[in-house]
Amino acid sequence: MADWAHGIIGHEAIIGDLDRAFASGELHHSLLFNGPRGLGKSTLAKAFANWALRRDPADPREAVHIGRLIAQRAHPDLLILEQDEERTKSGNRKEIPADDVRAIGAFYALKPAMAKRRVVILDAIDDLNRFGVNAILKSLEEPPAHGIFIVIYHGEIPLLPTIRSRCRRFRFRELAAEAMAPLLESVETASASKQDELLALAEVRPGRALQLIQGEGAQMLLSLRALIHAPHRLTWPALVDALRPPNQENVGEAMDQFAQAAKAAALRAARRQALSPASAWANVWRQLIALQADMYRLNLDPLNALSKAHRLIAPLADEKAG
């Protein structure tokens, strides 16, 4: 494992590729970190930025100093575009303003102040509206020689081919359960069985596991999954009760679970060679993914979006019964 990535859980192949490309001077100017939320894309992006902004990559004191500046959002050569933290805590995710994205041009126009280069981290492109997405194209098309642009992409919206083609793509995948063990051991959990439960709920995503450990999400997920596994009980009142409060974050989690259930139903039908039900469930899966993306992107009312998702998944009761 590269020294700059010390403490990162998993993703050894990605770290190795970044390490070799940067050390050889062949790093692409725009990097696309692609994978579901909670895999550590943002954490790795900031660790890599720390390394890229050092004048002496081998100096541990400089690494600590830059790490503090990054944590305080105070490094003059690093621009991080992300959602407002207070809005995110409320459970209602908002867009990153397009004007913030347009500031990338002015940021890149300045020469580096402390480092040899300037770094932009967009966390994440899924949180932009179409004006924001269009605004980053210019930065990708006309990158400065001293610039590195890291685009984080959760896969929740369709990505323009022009963006995809201008970036080197790194695919982040779920970790093996063994790789998660050090994370769970570093925090207080009730027992080994509790750790196994958290791993299952988090779907082997370290960021998601930490959210479940530190918050109340585990019980909500357990209640939600119990309803999905017994879909005859998946009534509207039971669903709303399981998601208290039914804000964007919790409704988005429900849509994730519904989409997985629809995908599983499609696979079960395909294995039975029941092509028409398989196609229908695959279509439900696509509609749920699109509905979730629209809820975040267009700031739809979470209860209305949940109602549409509930209607889409309702035939699951008949599928399970059959």
User: What was the pLDDT predicted at 90?
Assistant: 47
Q: How many Cα atoms are found within 13 Å in the side-chain-facing hemisphere of 192?
A: 0
Both tokens of 61, joined, read 């004191």
Domains: count for the chain: 2
Q: Are residue 152 and residue 26 in the same domain, yes or no?
A: yes
Q: Does residue 38 form part of some domain? A: yes
33 lies in the same domain as 155: yes
Residue 216's pLDDT is 54
Low-confidence stretches of the chain (pLDDT beneath 50): 87-91, 190
* d(C-alpha 304, C-alpha 310), whole Å: 10
Within this chain, do residues 153 and 235 fall inside the same structural domain, yes or no? Answer: no
pTM for this predicted structure:
0.70
Residues 12 and 161 in one domain: yes
Phi/psi of residue 113, nearest 5 degrees: -90, -45
In the chain, pLDDT over 90 holds for what percent of residues? 43
For residue 13, what is the domain's CATH number?
Answer: 3.40.50.300
Q: Which domain holds residue 265?
A: 231-321
pLDDT reported for residue 195: 56
Q: Where are the alpha helices (DSSP H) in 113-231?
A: 130-141, 161-165, 177-185, 192-202, 206-214, 217-229
Identify whether 65 is part of a domain.
yes
Q: Write down which residue in 171, 186, 216 finishes a domain.
A: 171
pLDDT at residue number 173: 86
In a domain, 221, yes or no: no
